[in-house]
Amino acid sequence: MAKRLVCRECHRVQDAEITEGDACMACGSNSLTEDWAGYVVIGHPEDSEIATEMEVTEPGKYALKVR
């Protein structure tokens, strides 16, 4: 099973098979990590209190804690 990486900048869970050093598919940051915990799937960020709190504007999977 492939490792799931998360962007340290936008907290987006990367679904594609990428490796550390590759760029985030959402924001373009090169700061990806395996060190994260929990995630939430946001389908309609405009209607979501969690999305507002996390400052998320695009639908997708987002990590709750990124180290």
| Beta strand extents in 1-67 (DSSP E only) | 5-7, 13-14, 32-33, 36-42, 60-66
- Residue numbers in the known binding site for Zn(2+) are 7, 10, 24, 27
Torsion sign (Cα): 17, 23, 58, 39: positive
- Residue numbers in the known binding site are 7, 10, 24, 27
